[in-house]
Amino acid sequence: MGQDHGAPTHLVRVIPTDYGQFVLELNNGEHRLLKGLVLTRELGWSELANPRKARQRTFSATQLGWPGGRTLGLDYLLAQAQPMNERELGWQSVDFSQCNRAPTPEHDTHHVYYVSLKPFDPQPFGLGESIHGGHGERGGMFSFDLAGLVAWPNWREHFELAGCGWAIALVDANTTDAQALLDVLIDAWCQREA
């Protein structure tokens, strides 16, 4: 999305990431990181320590909210959230879905398929497996841009194995605009039952 320097500052995106944090994208192109500890410790919203509950955020141009009437205005958010540089932004990820399919021929107890999103990376779609876990970890991950994802013949099967078969139709409906697809996937993921 282009930068809008003439308009008053407002929220464009709010992305819940791993570790209970939120990336706030502003219309001026700035990104800020809101740590979950602001919500749980400073505001006392302890139930939002559960990442599944915390991700059920809604937002408008001027506020961020959660079920139960919990709302934060833009001024508060800007005061609490820390500016991010490009390197910090590139590390942000979303554990979109994972499912342990063990026992499999590869391992009796740990064969996890997963899909992760790195919304600010040129290859934002990560599809991987974790086999055995711990010191004997095997598996790996492939990262794709949108064209690479939809060209990979096994992506639908992988989404099913990772427990996010529900997202296949969303990808099929958004095969040309990676940012639009990321927005749709993340918004749908945020609103799924905690």
- Cα dist. 34→24, 63, 134 in Å? 7, 13, 31
- Quickly name the fold that domain 11-90 has: NE0471 N-terminal domain-like (3.30.2020)
Alpha helices in the chain (DSSP H): 36-37, 51-54, 74-80, 86-91, 146-151, 155-161, 168-172, 178-191
Neighbours of 194 (CB within 10 A): 12
- The more confident residue out of 18 and 194 is 18
Number of H helices, E strands in the chain: 8, 11
Q: Which residues does 145 contact at the CB level (< 8 Å), separation at least 6?
A: 122, 123, 124, 125, 178
Question: Rounded to an integer, what distance in angstroms lies between the CA atom of residue 48 and that of residue 110?
Answer: 29
Question: Rounded to an integer, what distance in angstroms lies between the CA atom of residue 167 and that of residue 17?
Answer: 18
96 pLDDT more than 70? yes
Is residue 49 within 8 A of residue 36, CB to CB? The reply is yes
Summarize the confidence of residues 23-48 as an average pLDDT.
Answer: 95
Dump the DSSP string for 24-40.
Answer: EEETTS-EEEEEHHIII
Question: Rounded to an integer, what distance in angstroms lies between the CA atom of residue 126 and that of residue 131?
Answer: 16
Q: Is the pTM of this model over 0.85?
A: yes
20 pLDDT more than 90? no
Summarize the confidence of residues 152-181 as an average pLDDT.
Answer: 97
Quick: pLDDT tens for 57-92: 999 999 999 999 999 999 999 999 999 999 999 999
Percentage of residues of the chain with pLDDT beyond 90: 85
- The per-residue pLDDT for 49 is 92
- The more confident residue out of 140 and 170 is 170
SS3 41: helix
3 pLDDT more than 60? no
Give start-end residues of each CATH 3.30.2020 domain in the chain. Answer: 11-90
Summarize the confidence of residues 144-160 as an average pLDDT.
Answer: 98
Quick: pLDDT tens for 99-121: 999 999 989 999 999 999 999 99
Is residue 17 within 8 A of residue 31, CB to CB? The reply is no
∠94-100-106 over CA atoms, to 5°? 120
